[in-house]
Structure 1
Amino acid sequence: MGVTLKDVAAAAGVSRSTASRALSGSALIAAETRALVEDAARRLGYRPNRAASALRSRQSHLIGLVVGNLVNASFHTIAEVVQRRAAAEDYQMMLSITDADPRREEGILRTLGEHGVDGVILIGTGSNAAASNALLSGGTAVVNLIRGAAESAAPTVLASDRDGAGDATRHLLELGHRRIGYIGGPPGTNSGDERFAGYEQAWRDHGLPLDERLIERGPFEPSFGSDATGRLLARVPEMTALFAANHEAVFGVLPALVAAGVRVPDDLSLVCYEDISWLRWWQPPVTVVDNGARELGELAMDLLLQQLERGRGSVPQARNGRTYRVGAQLVQRESSARPRDV
C-alpha cells in the first residue's frame, strides 16, 4: 500500500480533514499548519490520488489542447501559453494531435469527454461542431482556436488572417511587383479562405487582374510547399515575388527556392505568414505576417477560464458562440524589395 492521506495526517499530528484542506491550499488553514502538513507529505513521499479527488469534486483539473500537427510553430507557442496558464491555475494540460483527420479529431474529443477533462481548447478541422457541442452540454468548457466550425456553440478565437494577407500583398504591390505567386491553405479552412480573400482584395484595391497561374492552394504540409514552389517557378518563370500564406508549406518553400538557385530578394521577393524565430536568422531575414500566436493563446485561455469560473454550462440556444479576433502585423525584413525591372 502506498502512503495515504491518513498517514500524512498522523505524521503531522492533525486530523485527516485538516491535512486534506492544507494540501488543497485552503485559506482556512493556518500557514504554520500548512507547512507542517506539507513537510510531512514530502518526508513520506505522499502523492495525492487525483482520480479519487476528481470523483469527489467532479473536477479533473485537466485541460485538453487538441492540435492538427506539431509542424506549425504557432501551435508550439500556443501550447507553451496554455501549459503556463493552466499550471498557474492548478490544471494540467493534455496534448492531443489529430493529423488534421476529422475522424481522429472526433475520437479524441469523445475520449477527452469520457475522461472528464474540465476544458478543451480545439485547433480543429472545423468538422466536429457536434462533438464539441456535446462536450459543452456535458459541462466541459470549450474554446475553438485559429480554426472554427460554423455550428459550434463555443467561443472562437481567430487571427485577422484576411487583413494580414491583404497587408502582405499590398506591401509587394506597392514595391512594384505585378507577378506575385501565392501558396495558400486549402479551401474550406478559416486561414485558407481568409488569407486568399485578403490576397484577392489587395489586387482589386489596386485595380489589377488576378492571374490564376500564380495561385497554388493545398494541404498544410511541407511537401505541398516544395511541390507548389516547383510548379510556380516552372509555370511562371517571370514571377518576381512569392507570398507563402500556408505556414506549414513554408518548411518546403524555403529549401525548394534554395535548391532551384533562386536568390532572395534579387530574383524573387518573399513574404511568409506566421513568424518563426529562425526566419529572422535566414539569409536574408524573411518578411513575415505575425499572426500574434502568443496573444491567440492568451485570449483562448482567458475565455476557457471564464467558462470554468462560471461553473461551465449548457449550449446557448438559437445562436452560435461569439468570435474574437487578434490583429495581425506585417514585419518588414530584407527578403522583400523592389523588382529589378522597376
Structure 2
Amino acid sequence: MTGQTEGANKPKERIRTLADLAGLAGVSAGTVSRALAGNSLVNTKTRTRIEALAREHGFRPNQMASKLRRQKTGVVGIVIPLGHDHRQQISDTFFMTLLGYLADELTEKGYDLMLRRVIPEKDEDWLDRFIGSGMVDGVIVIGQSDQFERIEDVADGYLPMVVWGNHQEGQRHCVVGTDNRLGGKLATERLIAAGATSLAFLGDNDAIEFAARYAGASQIAEKMGLPIRAFPTHLSPGRMAREVAQHVQDLTRTADGAGAVDGIFAATDTVAVSCLAALRARGIAVPAAMKLVGFDDLPVSSQTLPALTTVKQDIAAGAKGMVDLLLRRLKGEDTESLVLPPQLIGRETA
C-alpha cells in the first residue's frame, strides 16, 4: 500500500554546522556550542533540547574546531553594555580614559583586545555570545548599566570575567570600581561646607553606579536637613546638553541664580562641564550663586574656568586592578572584588 505520507521514511536532513543547528533550535551558535560542551551557562531544558536535535539530525561537532576554540587566543574581550542610554558613545571621555589604561596594561601583559559596544535590548544574548565566540580568553565588562542580573547569571558558570562597576554585598560577579556611595557623600559634604542650602543631583539613576552616588548624597542631605532633588540626565552628547540646559533653567528661577537650588552634584565630570556652560549662558556665577561638584576627576576637570571641584576615582589603578584580577581568574582563581576609595579634589567651583 502506497497511501502513506510521502517522505515518511525519508532520512532526516543532516545538520553540518553549529549555525545550522542554532537556526533549527532558535538559539545562538554560542548557546549551541556551550550546550554540547555541557556548559552550565545553558539551562538544563535548553541543553537537553539541543542535544536531542543534534542526535535526531546526526550532528557531530567538528572536534578539531572545538580544540582550536579551547586554545588560548591571546585576546581579551572588552564589552560596553549600554542598556540605560542607547545613544551614549564609546568616545565618551570616561570610556576613552579607562580604555587607554586597559590597553596599556593588556599590551604590557602580552594581550590584544577586542572591543564591542552593545545595546542589550537588541541583543539579549550579548554576553553569552561574546564568551562563546571562541575569539577571546576572558572578558572585561565596562559598566553594569541595567544588566546586573544578566552579568550575575553568566558569572555562575564563567570564571574569567571582571566588571567595572559598583559593588553590592553578596553579588557573585567580580567587580572593580569606586565606592560610589562614599563618593556621593564626599561631594555633598563639600557642597554644604561651601554654603549650599538646597541641592540637585544631575544623573541617570537607571545606571547602578549613579544610583549609588545619589544614595550617598541623599544620606548626607537628609542628615543635614537639606532638600535634594534628582534630575534625570543622560550621557549621549546632544541629549545631555539639552537636558542640562533645561534642568539649569528649572532650578534657577532668576537671572542672578537666586532660585530654589544653589548646589549641584553632577554624576560625572562631563555632566558638570555641561552644567558650567549652561550656567554661564544664563549669567549665573559659579561658585558665588551656584556651587558645583563633579565626579571622576577626568583631565578636563582641572582645565575648566573656574576649575572643577570633583570626586576622583582612580581610573588608572582600576584598570590595573581589572587586568591583574582577570589574569588570576584565567589561571583558575576565584578572586574577590576590588573597591577603590574615592577622593575629594577641591578646586574652584565649590
Counterpart position of 1:264: 286
Q: Secondary structure in 1 aligned to 2:338?
A: strand
- In 1: Cα distance, 2:344 partner to 2:105 partner: 28
Aligned residue in 2 for 1:230: 246
The alignment status of 1:167 with 2:182, answered yes or no, reads no
Quote how far apart the aligned CAs of 1:217 are: 2.6
Q: C-alpha separation between the residues in 2 aligned to 1:178 and 1:106?
A: 44
Write the letter of the residue equivalent to 1:219.
H
Instruction: Tell me how far apart the structure 1 counterparts of residues 120 and 170 of structure 2 sit (CA, whole Å).
Output: 15
Q: 1:230 to 1:147 in 2, by over 3 A?
A: same
Q: Which residue of 2 aligns with 1:146?
A: 165
Residues 273-312 of structure 1: CA deviation (Å, up to 9, x unaligned): 11121221111111111111112211111110111123x7
Distance 1:103 1:247, change over 3 A: farther
Counterpart CA distance in 1 for 2:159 and 2:139 is 7
Q: 1:288 to 1:209 in 2, by over 3 A?
A: closer
Q: How does 1:1-342 map to 2 (within 5 A)?
A: 55=68, 58-67=71-80, 68=82, 69-98=89-118, 101-104=119-122, 106-116=124-134, 117-123=136-142, 124-127=144-147, 129-130=149-150, 133-134=153-154, 137=157, 141-147=160-166, 153-187=172-206, 189-206=207-224, 208-212=225-229, 215-222=230-237, 223-224=239-240, 226-237=242-253, 238=259, 239-250=261-272, 252-310=274-332, 322-336=336-350
Aligned residue identity for 1:163: L
Question: Match of 2:19?
Answer: none
CA distance in 1, matches of 2:179, 2:289: 30
Q: Distance in 1 between matches of 2:188 and 2:151?
A: 37
CA contact (8 A) 1:109 1:132 kept: no
Q: What residue is the counterpart of 1:12 in the other structure?
A: none
Say if 1:298 and 1:183 are closer, same or farther in 2 by CA, change over 3 A.
same
* C-alpha distance in structure 1 between counterparts of 2:283 and 2:275, whole Å: 13
Partner of 2:101, secondary structure, is helix
Q: Is the CA contact 1:143–1:304 (under 8 Å) kept in the aligned structure 2? A: yes
For the 8 Å contact 1:220–1:247, the answer to whether it is kept is no
* Paired amino acid for 2:183: G
Unaligned runs of 5+ in 2: 1-63, 83-88, 254-258
Give the residue type in structure 1 aligned to 2:214: F
Q: Deviations over 1:60-95 (max 9, x none)?
A: 111011124425433222212221221122211111
Q: Hey, what does 1:42 align to over in structure 2? A: none
CA deviations 1:181-226 (Å, max 9, x no partner) are 2212224x321221111111111332x14254xx313433342354
Deviation at 1:255, TM superposition (A): 2.5
Q: Secondary structure at the match of 1:93?
A: strand
Evaluate the alpha carbon distance shift between residue 194 and residue 91 of structure 1 in structure 2; reply closer, same or farther with a 3 A threshold: same
Q: Provide TM-score, normalisation by structure 2.
A: 0.68
The answer to whether the 8 A contact 2:198-2:227 is kept is no
Name the amino acid aligned to 2:211.
D
Contact 2:199–2:227, Cα closer than 8 Å, also in 1: no
Task: Report the equivalent of 1:316.
Answer: none
Contiguous gaps of at least 5 residues in structure 1: 1-50, 314-320, 337-342
RMSD: 3.0
C-alpha contact 1:143 1:303 (8 A) present in aligned 2: yes
CA distance in 1, matches of 2:227, 2:199: 10
Write the distance in 2 (CA, Å) between the matches of 1:79 and 1:233: 35
Distance of aligned partners of 1:254 and 1:102 in 2 relative to their CA distance in 1, 3 Å threshold: farther
